[in-house]
């Protein structure tokens, strides 16, 4: 899965094993590989708040806010 870093616009490849971490609202970071240059870069940690979908859309709140279900009930 690819996501985009807000500040640079670079694509970040999230390995399949890390997609669950991306969707976990308790996880603040996710491992990925920057897709810049001709060679794939080493894995690095990225703050989820600094990432968006390649289309420019933000991640769903259920991926980023641990209290999402609580706020939805009110």
pLDDT over threshold 70, residue 2: yes
Q: For the chain, what is the domain count?
A: 1
pLDDT number for residue 40: 80
Q: Are 52 and 58 in contact (CB under 8 A)?
A: yes
Q: Cα–Cα distance between 21 and 43 in angstroms, integer?
A: 15
pTM for this entry: 0.85
Q: What is the pLDDT of residues 11-38, one digit of tens each?
A: 999 999 999 999 999 999 999 999 988 8
Q: What is the pLDDT of residues 47-74, one digit of tens each?
A: 999 999 999 999 999 999 988 777 665 5
Name the residue with tokens 């996501």.
3
Evaluate the CA torsion angle 31, 34, 39, 41 in order and state its sign. negative
CB atoms inside a 10 Å sphere around CB 49: 12
């Amino acid at each position: 899965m690819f996501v985009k870093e807000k500040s640079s616009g670079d694509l970040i490849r999230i390995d399949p094993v890390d997609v669950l971490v991306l969707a976990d609202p308790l996880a603040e970071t996710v491992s990925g590989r920057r897709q810049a240059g001709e060679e794939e870069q080493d894995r690095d940690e990225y703050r989820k708040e600094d990432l968006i979908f390649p289309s420019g859309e933000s991640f769903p709140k259920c991926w980023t806010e641990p209290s999402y279900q609580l706020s939805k009930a009110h």
